[in-house]
């Protein structure tokens, strides 16, 4: 970081500059967030500050409005405020002001190599104190959060906080918005719109988001993966959240984000503090650079599941859900383990159905005791068999939920989140346990801990299968999503403290809880309950903008997809799951010997290359044909890469044309050859193979990026892997 003056801060990292104006008594203003400005002298930064002040327009305030990191009407901002609340109707607006140079401190942030600026401000009249933390990580990701404290005397009304958001301004060039929507088995579908006047708001009001915005990005119209400036934000929070993309009449644009608070959820008595979640912002020339910053930032964490942090390579797993559902028979489950171990699987996961009264999804949630009727000797016969085959053992839980038809709900109806005396509408025949209730929290922690301890569970699939609505504490009636989320974090943190080697997967009807808050304490996300390889192409493309491959679970399903009814050949299914944290969800006891032999080859190939796949840079090509999707991973040394050329459907042309392979060193020579573990590189139509496939072709990185290689015929739902090695 360079500091041009005590009131003008220039933070730099990984090709990003963040220039903060902390002059005067206003909260910080962002003068620039974007491309690195270099080692700018003080005189130029001072000039930038002067050059950034707009004229006073007619019929406006007598001084220019200031868009601060927590925007306020008292500074002239008349868009969405950064902080809102009141004291019994009074103190409905704020004028948070700093008190001289001592209000600003600069130092190291939480992330390794990150830089932090902390600014403290106060509104004496409203009796509020605010602390704003702004970090620039070594990866060039901006992180910010705020804390507000009531400094009122005990005889004043408490402060009801309605919102506390962080604002990151974006420039005039950001004239298009990209965000995501979705539903069950079709998560993270991209949508675009012009960045017009007004407010574009995306909210999560149910504590999870199959339809959540995930990322909200603003950039130059038509920005793609490889070009076009983009600014994107993400709320690192697993409860309710809000992201605002807003353009006001003076032309200013902001991306603002934070927790979405329910009415009366945060009421601050004298001396009490609320801290917002971290909001992460990433800038880049194209979405690949935005995504790469998020990936690099996650991989720099000391707890990241990587070889560099002393963890093993990501184990190939089998999840038995679609193989057996609730039909738990020891002989079948052991046979599945035998088949999985024989083809190279390293982790075995027993899914829903092992606990009391759980013969379908209508009963038993909360009764976290092994069902004696199904498992008369407990889980030990299966666990011992799995461990004896050299595999880890994983187990499914849904700790936050309860079926009304359960011993737990009948014994403790007061432990259910509810708005007063009535219950919320049931979803999937279940309600939500109030983890903010100390006794409920202790029960869940005790039971999950006991099962993990008794059976030496290595891995927990942590599910979360209903929306949290009308979530009130049963004892107070006050909204409880905020406290529920914090209690969830404490629960996971404590289980990992007690079981240091434990890995946890975040699942929520598939991809309903994928965020950087949950990823601080989990090792994998389940991107979707849909294992259809065609649907997975778009689901994983969206998820992968934030989540690196090693944290994204992707499974090879059965030939007949259980959620969509489609059928795909094994090479398409396996090639789709190949890049991520690989798994299998298929009744292997019904698979043919030929399929199992091919599966073993795919698993062996994945193990051979997972060091590259799970540490390299993810790249995507902007191919003009929407039916052709090209993505890959390039090693950090740029000496090796693997690409997938995927035909999503039939195109208007016989061929997709040449497909470009980006991200390589333009000055180096590379040999490109197909990878064909299925020995099926010929086309399904019987057309001739591409002439260069047998021996490969040698081209420079520049030529591969700017010209490319001819793609295969546009047979729908077809995938080819290309191995690229420097020569």
The domain that holds 653 is classified in CATH as: 2.60.40.1180
Residue 694 binned pLDDT confidence (cut-offs 50, 70, 90): confident
Domain shared by 94 and 222, yes or no: yes
Domain shared by 294 and 350, yes or no: no
Query: In this model, does residue 165 exceed pLDDT 50?
Result: yes
Residue 3 binned pLDDT confidence (cut-offs 50, 70, 90): very low
| pLDDT at site 688 | 59
Q: Does residue 507 have a known ligand-binding role? A: yes
Q: What is the mean pLDDT of residues 260-287?
A: 98
Q: What is the mean pLDDT of residues 402-414?
A: 98
Domain shared by 158 and 73, yes or no: yes
| pLDDT at site 679 | 59
> What is the secondary structure of 6-55 as a DSSP string?
TTEEEEEETTEEEEEE--TTSPPEEEEEEE---S--HHHHHHHHHHTPPP
Q: How does pLDDT run across 115-151, given as a tens digit for each residue?
A: 999 999 999 999 999 999 999 999 999 999 999 999 9
**Domain end point (choices 484, 502, 526):** 526
407 occurs within a structural domain: yes
Q: How does pLDDT run across 436-494, given as a tens digit for each residue?
A: 999 999 999 999 999 999 999 999 999 999 999 999 997 888 999 999 999 999 999 99
Lowest-confidence pick of 155-169, 418-432, 684-698: 684-698
What's the whole-number average pLDDT of the chain?
Answer: 95
611 occurs within a structural domain: no
Q: Does residue 351 have a known ligand-binding role? A: yes
264 occurs within a structural domain: yes
419 occurs within a structural domain: yes
Percentage of the chain lying above the pLDDT 70 cut: 98
54 occurs within a structural domain: no
* Catalytic hit among 288, 529, 532, 705: 529
Q: Does residue 463 have a known ligand-binding role? A: yes
Q: How many C-beta atoms lie closer than 10 Å to residue 590's C-beta?
A: 11
Domain shared by 255 and 152, yes or no: yes
* Higher-pLDDT residue of 111, 77: 77
440 occurs within a structural domain: yes
Q: How does pLDDT run across 567-619, given as a tens digit for each residue?
A: 999 999 999 999 999 999 999 999 999 999 999 999 999 999 999 999 999 99
Domain shared by 385 and 272, yes or no: no
Query: In this model, does residue 669 exceed pLDDT 60?
Result: yes
The domain that holds 489 is classified in CATH as: 3.20.20.70
Query: In this model, does residue 686 exceed pLDDT 80?
Result: no
Q: Please give the Cα distance from 583 to 346 (Å, whole number).
A: 10
Q: Catalogue the E-assigned strands of 51-127.
A: 83-86, 97-98, 104-108, 115-123
Query: In this model, does residue 683 exceed pLDDT 70?
Result: no
* Catalytic hit among 91, 165, 367, 463: 463
Query: In this model, does residue 723 exceed pLDDT 80?
Result: yes
Q: Does residue 653 have a known ligand-binding role? A: no
Q: Please give the Cα distance from 63 to 384 (Å, whole number).
A: 74
Q: Does residue 415 have a known ligand-binding role? A: no
Domain coverage including residue 434: 346-526
| pLDDT at site 30 | 98
Q: What is the mean pLDDT of residues 629-642?
A: 98
| pLDDT at site 59 | 86
Domain shared by 283 and 367, yes or no: no
The domain that holds 86 is classified in CATH as: 2.70.98.60
Lowest-confidence pick of 5-9, 35-39, 71-75, 325-329: 5-9
Q: Does residue 355 have a known ligand-binding role? A: no
Q: Does residue 465 have a known ligand-binding role? A: yes
Active site residue 529: yes
Q: Does residue 352 have a known ligand-binding role? A: yes
How many domains, in total, are found in the chain?
Answer: 3
Domain shared by 411 and 505, yes or no: yes
Long-range contacts, stretch 307-311, CB < 8 angstroms, 24+ apart? 307/611
> What is the secondary structure of 431-493 as a DSSP string?
EEB-TTSHHHHHHHHHHHHHHHHHHT--EEEE---S---S-B-TTT--B-HHHHHHHHHHHHH
Domain shared by 282 and 368, yes or no: no
Active site residue 676: no
Q: What is the mean pLDDT of residues 1-11?
A: 71
- State phi, psi for 595 to the nearest 5 degrees: -65, -40
């Amino acid at each position: 970081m360079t500091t041009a003056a005590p009131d003008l801060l220039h933070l730099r990292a990984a090709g990003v500059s963040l220039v903060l104006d902390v002059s005067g008594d206003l909260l910080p203003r962002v003068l620039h967030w974007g491309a690195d400005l270099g080692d700018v002298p003080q005189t130029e930064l001072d000039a930038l500050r002067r050059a950034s002040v707009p004229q006073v327009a007619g019929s406006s305030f007598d001084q220019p409005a200031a868009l601060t990191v927590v925007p306020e009407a008292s500074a002239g901002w008349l868009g969405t405020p950064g902080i809102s609340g009141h004291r019994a109707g009074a103190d409905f607006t704020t004028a948070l002001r700093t008190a001289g140079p001592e209000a600003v401190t600069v130092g190291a942030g939480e992330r390794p190599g990150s830089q932090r600026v902390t600014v403290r401000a106060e509104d004496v009249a409203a009796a509020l104190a605010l602390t704003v933390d702004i970090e620039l990580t070594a990866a060039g990701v901006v992180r910010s959060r705020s804390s507000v404290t009531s400094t009122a005397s005990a005889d004043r009304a408490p402060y009801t906080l309605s919102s506390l958001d962080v604002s990151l301004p974006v420039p005039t060039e950001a004239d298009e918005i990209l965000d995501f929507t979705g539903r069950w088995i079709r998560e993270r579908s991209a949508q675009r719109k012009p960045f017009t006047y007004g407010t574009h708001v995306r909210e999560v009001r149910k504590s999870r988001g199959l339809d959540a915005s995930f990322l909200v990005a603003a950039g130059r119209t038509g920005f793609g993966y490889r070009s076009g400036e983009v600014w994107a934000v993400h709320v690192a929070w697993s409860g309710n959240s809000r992201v605002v993309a807003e353009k006001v009449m003076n032309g200013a644009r902001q991306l603002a984000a934070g927790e979405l608070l329910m009415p009366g959820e945060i009421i601050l008595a004298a001396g009490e503090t609320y801290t917002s979640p971290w909001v992460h912002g990433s800038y880049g020339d194209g979405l690949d650079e935005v995504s790469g910053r998020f990936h690099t930032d996650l991989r720099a964490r000391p707890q990241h599941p990587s070889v560099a942090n002393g963890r093993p390579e990501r184990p190939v797993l089998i999840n038995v859900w679609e193989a057996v559902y609730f039909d738990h028979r020891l002989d079948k489950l052991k046979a599945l383990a035998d088949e999985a171990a024989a083809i190279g699987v390293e982790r075995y996961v027993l899914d829903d159905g092992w606990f009391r009264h759980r013969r379908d999804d209508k009963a038993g949630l909360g009764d976290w005791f092994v069902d004696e009727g199904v498992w008369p000797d407990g889980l030990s016969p299966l666990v011992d068999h799995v461990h004896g085959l050299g595999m880890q053992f994983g187990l499914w839980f849904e700790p936050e939920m309860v079926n009304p038809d359960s011993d737990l709900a009948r014994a403790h109806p007061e432990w259910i989140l509810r708005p007063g005396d009535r219950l919320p509408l049931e979803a999937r025949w279940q309600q939500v346990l109030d983890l903010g209730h100390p006794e409920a929290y202790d029960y869940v922690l005790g039971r999950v801990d006991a099962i993990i301890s008794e059976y030496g569970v290595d891995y927990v699939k942590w599910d979360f299968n209903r929306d949290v609505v009308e979530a009130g504490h049963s004892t107070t009636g006050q909204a409880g999503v905020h406290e529920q989320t914090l209690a969830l974090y404490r629960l996971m943190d404590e289980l990992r403290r007690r079981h240091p080697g434990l890995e946890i997967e975040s699942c929520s009807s598939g991809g309903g809880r994928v965020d950087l808050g949950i990823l601080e304490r989990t090792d994998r996300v389940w991107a979707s309950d849909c294992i259809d390889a065609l649907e997975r192409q778009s689901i994983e493309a969206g998820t992968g903008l934030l989540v690196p491959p090693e944290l994204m679970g992707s499974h090879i399903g059965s030939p007949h997809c259980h959620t969509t009814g489609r059928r795909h050949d094994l090479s398409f299914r396996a090639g789709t799951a190949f890049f991520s944290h690989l798994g299998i969800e298929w009744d292997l006891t019904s698979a043919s010997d030929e399929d199992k032999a091919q599966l073993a080859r795919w698993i062996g190939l994945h193990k051979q290359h997972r060091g590259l796949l799970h540490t390299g840079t993810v790249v995507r090509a902007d191919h003009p044909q929407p039916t052709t999707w090209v993505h890959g991973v390039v090693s950090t040394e740029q000496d090796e890469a693997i690409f997938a050329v995927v035909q999503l459907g039939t195109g208007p042309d016989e061929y997709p044309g040449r497909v470009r392979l980006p991200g390589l060193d333009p000055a180096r020579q590379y040999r490109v050859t197909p990878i064909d573990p299925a020995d099926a590189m010929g086309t399904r139509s019987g057309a001739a193979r591409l002439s260069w496939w047998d021996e490969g072709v040698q081209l420079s990185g520049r030529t591969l990026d700017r010209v490319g290689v001819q793609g295969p015929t546009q047979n729908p739902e077809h995938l080819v892997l290309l191995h690229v090695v420097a020569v």
